[in-house]
Amino acid sequence: MLCFRGKLMSYLMGIDLGTSSLKVIIIDIKGNIQVESSKGYQFDSPINGYAEQKTDAWWSACCECIRDALSRLKAPASEIRALSFSGQMHGVVLLDKDRNVIRPAILHCDARSGEQVQKINRLFKERHLSDSQLNPVYTGFLLTSLVWVRDNEPELYGRVRYAFLPKDFLKMMLCGEIGSDYSDASATLAYDIQQNCWSKEVLDALDIPLEFFPECSASDRVAGRVTKKAAEATGLREGTVVVNGGADQVMQAVGNGAIRPGQATVNIGSSGQVCFQSDKPIRNPDLSTNTFCAYRSGAWITMGATMSAGLAFKWFRGIFPGGDYRTLDGEIEKLVPGSGGLLFLPYLNGERTPHVNPNISGMFMGLNLNTTGTHMARAVMEGVTYSLLQCIEICGTLGLKAGELIASGGGARSPVWLQMQADVYNMPLKTTVTEEQACIGAAVMAGVGSGAFGSVEEACASFVRYKDNVYTPNAKNHDIYRQYYCLYKDAYTGSQKTIQSLTEQGRLQAG
């Protein structure tokens, strides 16, 4: 047990590095959140399809949020026992031999590497390497972005000494050590998920040095301690324990208490995911889902993902503003399922599950003179939910089942959307008392890594609590949604060529 001057340190810190914001919580050992702090930022898109962020923005937000949280904690910084991380997946941070950042980080939602995806797919097929990956090759993953840099920015690539994940940059800044964890590493395409190590076969095939990639260990492994320089920048005590943490989907599952095989979560954040826990790596022959390592060796997650979930609703609100979310929820609730015969395909930024296509676009179908902005808002919610149902169904064909879903993300703040999900999926949904599940998952790792808890199970029992209200399916609504869901799937199939052509024309006109 860690003590400071004979006194047990009482608090843990969880840091979540997201695409649009960084969040920090401080939680006590009994699971009560004491302080929350967040800082928003935007990613850069210098060319259509690009998504980059300057690492300085992350570090600045991290220092600001930690200082703010500590200033409002009714205890000294010496009471922080340990901290850990949750981080946006897939992106790549590149450093030179002196640990200087070479270029802005390329993010998970970046779509520039289409040519590299095709090249890697051909190579994987020729050398029978797909079986070790268990994942489709997709734009925005670390490996595809790294190959893009080599192909298009050779001078910068020539300076690369380290290639790793976004949250591991913050970890390095805090404790001075470069390392990663199983969950984040497994989402790079450079990792052998079944053998739980960097894939020498893949890296050799692409002529990428294995030495670029850091040592990996479990999410609850101690990575180091806060350095003097980082303590001065953040207000943390020098020597505070820093624990690995993990990829946001894995940490979010932990923060929802979903850590055992047969448990599943559904998340509507900027993107949307359905995530199933498993005690074995799941191979999907169609490569339309993702399988990654979980927080420890011998555990995995399989998930389906839709690229524009809450992002689609935010986009719509930007076009048709008016009223707060609660008021809009009330208006949407008055409409019957089906939004007056309106369908929305939520492919605003390509799609992963089930189409694995970064180049398709979204669309409304069924507009008429009676269509209102509220109809369209509800159709956006329904379209995202249909997309997540496709994820659930595909995971079901792989043998992954759950009796209920734990819902999280911004979509879980809307009672209307939660009930809609229960009706569409025909499954009960429950939610946790606290909303920042990824931060909670990170705090769990901080607690286990620092010895405050003997296991992740013990920490989750202390930290994770569920609301009394469970959203149960309405059978009548489900029957209506089944009909619309069939139309939704047919709409993509029937309009695929049109959608593809429109997407290509739009990109040509955007330059």
User: Domain of 83?
Assistant: 1-88+218-256+435-467
Does the residue 248 lie in any domain?
A: yes
346 in the same domain as 481: yes
The values of phi and psi at residue 123, to 5°, are -65, -45
322 in the same domain as 284: yes
Q: Which of 16, 110, 192, 248 is catalytic?
A: 248
pLDDT attached to residue 1: 46
113 in the same domain as 56: no
195 in the same domain as 281: no
At 270-284, the pLDDT tens digits run 889 999 999 999 989
485 in the same domain as 442: no
Does the residue 174 lie in any domain?
A: no
Does the residue 499 lie in any domain?
A: yes
CB 291 within 8 Å of CB 301? yes
Of the candidates 393, 455, 377, 380, the one whose C-alpha atom is nearest the C-alpha of residue 427 is: 393
Average pLDDT, the chain: 92
320 in the same domain as 269: yes
- Domain count for the chain: 3
**Separation of alpha carbons 116 and 132, rounded Å:** 19
Does the residue 8 lie in any domain?
A: yes
Give mean pLDDT, residues 177-187. 97
Does the residue 396 lie in any domain?
A: yes
pLDDT attached to residue 126: 82
Pull the structure tokens for residue 498.
Answer: 């049109």
Does the residue 173 lie in any domain?
A: no
At 291-312, the pLDDT tens digits run 999 999 999 999 999 989 999 9
Does the residue 445 lie in any domain?
A: yes
At 213-271, the pLDDT tens digits run 999 999 999 999 999 999 999 999 999 999 999 999 999 999 999 999 999 999 998 88
- Checking 364-368 for CB contacts under 8 A at 24+ apart, the result is 365/491, 365/495, 366/340, 366/341, 366/342, 367/342, 368/340, 368/341
**Separation of alpha carbons 295 and 3, rounded Å:** 26
CATH number at residue 483: 3.30.420.40
135 in the same domain as 19: no
Q: Tell me which DSSP letter residue 84 carries.
A: E
The values of phi and psi at residue 117, to 5°, are -60, -45
Residue 495 has pLDDT above 80, yes or no: no
151 in the same domain as 115: yes
Residue 508 has pLDDT above 60, yes or no: no
Of the candidates 166, 167, 21, 170, the one whose C-alpha atom is nearest the C-alpha of residue 105 is: 166
423 belongs to the catalytic site? no
Tell me if residue 102 falls in helix, strand or coil: coil
Residue 29 has pLDDT above 70, yes or no: yes
Straight-line distance from the first to the last Cα atom of the chain, in angstroms, rounded to the nearest whole number: 59
Residue 50 has pLDDT above 80, yes or no: yes
At 62-111, the pLDDT tens digits run 999 999 999 999 999 999 999 999 999 999 999 999 999 999 999 998 98
Residue 435: pLDDT band (50, 70, 90) is confident
206 in the same domain as 101: yes
140 in the same domain as 67: no
Of the candidates 21, 23, 22, 24, the one whose C-alpha atom is nearest the C-alpha of residue 11 is: 24
Does the residue 43 lie in any domain?
A: yes
Residue 4 has pLDDT above 50, yes or no: no
Q: Tell me which DSSP letter residue 190 carries.
A: S
442 in the same domain as 419: no
205 in the same domain as 111: yes
DSSP letters, 269-301, are SSSEEEEEEESSPPP-TT--SEEEE-SSTT-EE
The maximal CA–CA distance of the chain, rounded, in angstroms, is 72
